[in-house]
Amino acid sequence: MSSPRLSLAHITKRYPAVVANDAVSLTVQPGEIHAVLGENGAGKSTLMKIIYGAVKPDAGEMRFNGEVVHIRNPQEARRLGISMVFQHFSLFDTLSVAENVWLGLDKHFSLAEVTQRITDTASQYGLDIDPQRLVHTLSVGEMQRVEIIRALLTNPQLLILDEPTSVLTPQAVEKLFVVLRQLASEGRSILYISHKLHEIRALCTACTVMRAGRVTGVCDPRQETNASLSQLMIGSLPPELNVRTHQPGAEVLTVRDLRLTADDPFGVDLKGVDLQVRAGEVVGIAGVSGNGQRELLFALSGEDRRAPHDSIALAGQSVGRWSPDQRRAHGLHFVPEERLGRGAVPSLSLAQNLLLTRHEAVASTGWLKVLGWLNLKTLQAQAEAIMARYQVKAGGPDAAARSLSGGNLQKFLMGREIEAAPKLLIVSQPTWGVDVGASAQIRAALLALRDAGCAVLVVSEELDELLELSDRLHVIAHGELSPALSREEASVSRIGAWMSGLWKTPAAAQQEVAHVAS
The DSSP-derived string for 480-512 is: EEPPPEETTT--HHHHHHHTTTTTSSHHHHHHH
Judged against a pLDDT cut of 80, whether residue 240 lies above it is answered with no
Residues 176 and 312 in one domain: no
Asked if residue 240 is part of any domain, the answer here is no
Write phi, then psi, for 127 (nearest 5 degrees): -100, 75
Establish if 19 belongs to a structural domain: yes
Helix (H, G, I), strand (E, B) or coil at 300: helix
The confidence score (pLDDT) of residue 239 equals 62
Average pLDDT estimate for 435-456? 88
| Lowest mean per-residue pLDDT among 214-218, 233-237, 399-403, 464-468 | 233-237
**Domain presence at residue 86:** yes
Residue 113: per-residue pLDDT: 93
Residue 506 has what pLDDT? 54
Same domain as 396, residue 282? no
CA distance linking residue 496 with residue 175, whole number of Å: 14
If asked whether residues 464 and 507 sit together in one domain, one would say yes
Strand 206-211 relative to strand 33-38: parallel, antiparallel, unpaired? parallel
Whole-number pLDDT of residue 237: 64
List, in order, residues 6 or more apart from 316 with CB less than 8 Å away. 251, 254
464 falls in which pLDDT band (50, 70, 90)? confident
Rounded Cα distance between 394 and 316, Å, is: 41
Question: Which residues form the domain of 64?
Answer: 6-234
Q: How far apart are CA 461 and CA 287, in angstroms?
A: 6
Say if residue 266 is in the same domain as residue 326.
yes
C-alpha closest to that of 36 among 178, 244, 221:
221
pLDDT in tens, 143-157: 888 988 998 898 899
**pLDDT higher than 70, residue 517:** no
Q: So what's the pLDDT on residue 236? A: 67
Q: Decide which of 175 and 467 is more confident.
A: 467
Tell me the average pLDDT of the chain: 87
Does 395 fall in a domain?
yes
pLDDT band per the 50, 70, 90 thresholds, residue 16: confident
Residue 409, domain member (yes or no): no
Model confidence at 514, pLDDT cuts 50, 70, 90, reads very low
Q: What pLDDT, on a 0 to 100 scale, did the predictor assign at position 338?
A: 81
Cα–Cα distance list, 11 to 6, 7, 25, 79 (Å): 13, 10, 6, 22
Are 133 and 210 within one domain? Answer: yes
Looking at residue 440, what is its pLDDT?
A: 83
117 vs 404: which has the higher pLDDT = 117
Comparing C-alpha atoms, which of 46, 407, 435 is closest to residue 231? 435
370 against 107, higher pLDDT: 107
Is 239 within the bounds of a domain?
no
Shared domain check, 154 and 34:
yes
Give 512's pLDDT tier (boundaries 50, 70, 90).
very low
pLDDT tens profile 60-83: 999 999 999 999 999 999 999 999
CATH of the domain at 295: 3.40.50.300
Reference 166, options 192, 191, 189, 146; nearest CA is 192
| For helices 140-152 and 170-185, angle between their N-to-C axes, nearest 10 degrees | 10
Looking at per-residue pLDDT, the higher value among 424 and 508 belongs to: 424
Q: What is the mean pLDDT of residues 128-149?
A: 84
Same structural domain, 70 and 129:
yes
- Radius of gyration of the chain, Cα coordinates, nearest whole angstrom: 24
**Sheet strands (E) in 202-330:** 206-211, 214-219, 251-260, 270-278, 282-286, 312-314, 317-318
DSSP letter at 4 equals P
More confident: 285 or 129: 285
Count of structural domains within the chain: 3
- pLDDT above 70 for 369: no
Residue 27: its pLDDT value, please? 97
Report d(CA 463, CA 461) in Å as an integer: 6
327 pLDDT more than 60: yes
* pLDDT over threshold 50, residue 185: yes
Domain match, 306 and 359 both: no
Q: Which residue has the higher pLDDT, 211 or 141?
A: 211
Q: Which amino acid is at 278?
A: R
Q: Are residues 163 and 91 in the same domain?
A: yes
pLDDT by residue (tens digit) across 154-184?
889 999 998 887 666 677 788 889 989 999 9
User: Count of CB atoms within 10 A of residue 94's CB?
Assistant: 11
| Same domain? 255 vs 395 | no
Residue 78 included in any domain:
yes
Q: Are residues 209 and 289 in the same domain?
A: no
Higher-pLDDT residue of 234 and 121 is 121
Q: Picking from 224-228, 395-399, 512-516, which range would have the lowest pLDDT averaged per residue? A: 512-516
Note the Cα 218 to chain centre separation in Å.
26
Interatomic CA distance for residues 143 and 147, integer angstroms:
6
Per-residue pLDDT at 382: 92
Considering only 283-287, 316-320, 498-502, which range has the smallest mean pLDDT?
498-502
Residue 414 lies in a domain: no
